[in-house]
Amino acid sequence: MSEPTTPVFSVRDLWKVFGPGADRIPGSEHAALPSTELRERTGCTAAVRNVSFDVDKGEVFVVMGLSGSGKSTLVRCLTRLIEPTSGTLAIDGEDVLAMDRTRLRELRRHRAAMVFQHFGLLPHRTVLDNVAYGLEIQGLGKAERRARAAELVEKVGLGGLEDRRPAQLSGGQQQRVGLARALAVDPSVLLFDEPFSALDPLIRREMQDEVVRLHREEGRTMVFITHDLSEALRLGTRIALMRDGEIVQLGTPEEIVGSPADDYVRAFVRDVPREQVLTVATAMRPPSAGEGDHGPALRPEATVSEAIEAVARSGDPVARVMKDGRLVGVVDHACLLDVVAGTGAQAVTV
Ligand SMILES: Nc1ncnc2c1ncn2[C@@H]1O[C@H](COP(=O)(O)OP(=O)(O)OP(=O)(O)O)[C@@H](O)[C@H]1O
Ligand SMILES: [Mg+2]
């Protein structure tokens, strides 16, 4: 095990209530009312209800849920773009609710950069100057910020387009500029509010790959809002599934798909191809005599779909699951198919 590190965000019992007398709602007899009833009785909307979670360093923390479930409100509370009604909130161990205006400005400029759905680019500035903008407000000198901006333009795949203006770019290219601008200040966490939902599916896929690449290459911490399940499953280290202001389940994609917490989550993940999400760590069983010294070798985190392919290709009925050169289990057709059908064992910790 590695040393426990301070979470990037630590959120406890967070509430955001909109409406008259909002601060009297958390902890009151009205707190548990369903949203429609709460609105009828008090005129208030509880957009975020008693939510607690940590965002760990280096993870992509996805917030998912239907429209109106409280995703944007929750993420905006993290930097107090929306003022929480009650609860506690820390970034890198520092109390966000105790920050004064200067400290908050610093937080939003340097530590938690936001990437929006509608790009928010400055129309009269070039690509390079849009990216350099965040560095300008940080007070960096011109030559230095242009050099740094050029590096980032290159990094997000826009090399050669430095002098264009936003109107001369496609939606995907504009969002890359937004991404480069957010990265320019080297924030400890990137916050994305449905950044790709305005893009067509192919470009969207490309942008998802970009996020995966950034995460893999730089280990950057990200909080990513989406209402698209396949996007959540592709990007998320963990996913918080929201309904009516609450987090109904928080877990890895594999936990959400493999062990949905209730009927709501089950309905959400019903159409997911399980073999592409569940791993051989979930499917494997202990080896019996004579097994474990032959057959293809797989990593515990390989997907069931990869395992099915490996077993089929090898002609050997049993594949070995190896971790750090050690045999931790085996998989065969039966246990792989059990997991796909939902009748298999629950996740085993390796
Ligand atoms: N300023 C506000 N005043 C009153 N109610 C608000 C305000 N902002 C949001 N709400 C309500 O809070 C709830 C959560 O809204 P929020 O924008 O966080 O949802 P969301 O999950 O981001 O939805 P979407 O997927 O449509 O973006 C909704 O019922 C919304 O109407
Ligand atoms: Mg939203």
Predicted confidence (pLDDT) per residue in 159-180, tens digit: 999 999 999 998 888 988 998 9
Atom of ligand 1 nearest to the CA of 66: 25
Distance 48 CA to ligand 1 centre (A): 9
**CB distance 327 to 299 below 8 Å:** no
Nearest CA, atom 17, ligand 1: 72
Ligand 1 centroid–CA 85 distance in Å is 15
- Residue 66 Cα, ligand 2 centroid: separation in angstroms? 9
- Ligand 1 centroid, distance to 68 Cα (angstroms): 5
pLDDT tens across 216-243, in order?
Answer: 888 899 999 998 898 999 999 999 999 9
Top-level CATH class of 53-268?
alpha beta
Separation CA 212–CA 52 (nearest Å): 26
Q: At 343, is the pLDDT very low, low, confident or very high (cuts 50, 70, 90)? A: low
From 71, 74, 116, the mutation candidate for ligand 1 (largest count of ligand atoms within 8 A of CB) is 71
Question: Rounded CA gap, 136 and 151, in Å?
Answer: 16
Angle at 57 between CA 55 and CA 60, to 5 degrees: 60
Helix (H) or strand (E) holding 78: helix 71-78
Locate 267 and state its tokens: 């309905």
What pairs with residue 112 in β-bridges?
189
Note the pLDDT tens digit of each residue in 281-335: 989 999 988 888 888 999 999 999 999 999 889 888 899 999 999 999 999 988 8
* Local structure of 242: helix, strand or coil: strand
Query: Taking the mean position of all CA atoms in its chain, how far away is CA 155?
Result: 21
CATH H-level superfamily of 274-341: CBS-domain (3.10.580.10)
Is the pLDDT confidence value at 346 over 60? Answer: no
Ligand 2 ion: Cβ-proximal residues, 5 Å cutoff? 72
Is 71 near ligand 1, meaning CB less than 6 Å away?
yes
Domain boundaries, the chain: 53-268, 274-341
Q: For the residues 50-62, what does the mean pLDDT come to?
A: 96
* DSSP secondary structure letters along 42-66: HS-EEEEEEEEEEE-TT-EEEEEES
Q: Is there an atom of ligand 1 within 6 Å of 346 CB?
A: no
